Amino acid sequence: MDKTVSKIVTLSFLVFSVLIGYTVSTLLKVFSGAFGSVAKAMNYDLFKHGLPVALTLALFIYLQFNSKILVWADEVIIEIKKVVWPPGKDVRGMTIVVVVMVLISSVIVSFFDMFSGFVLNQLMK
């Protein structure tokens, strides 16, 4: 694995681990409102802040030093390098087409919504 690929894999593992830690932190806050035992545990800073940080660090270390996962990540990057990406001009053109089609669709759906609302209001009167 060359240096650039190694840096990309490490950064990806770090970002993934931080997202999982943030998710656990958010879930703890949500569960503290629903479960009394979690609310009691949230009074302790070690549980409130330590658990997500410890989970983040443990997950990052596991991902970074597991040889099977590193081989898998290397293979993923090799496969991504094989992908033929469209030129920027084509991407901009396709994006414009999608935005226009979404706008047209939203106008049509809005028209049907207003029309059906009008018809239902007339039927209720």
Domain extents in the chain: 1-83, 84-125
How far from 95 is each of 89, 99, 103, CA to CA, in Å?
Answer: 10, 6, 12
Q: Determine whether 21 is exposed, middle or buried from the number of CB atoms within 10 Å of its CB (0-12, 13-18, 19+).
A: buried
pTM exceeds cut of 0.85 = no
- pLDDT string in tens for the chain (125-residue length): 678 888 889 999 999 999 999 999 999 999 998 898 888 988 888 888 999 999 999 999 999 999 999 999 988 988 988 999 899 999 999 999 999 999 999 999 999 999 999 999 999 98
CA distances to 32, 67, 107, 108, 111 from 100, in Å? 45, 47, 11, 12, 17
Query: Residue 90 carries which side chain, given as an amino acid letter?
Result: D
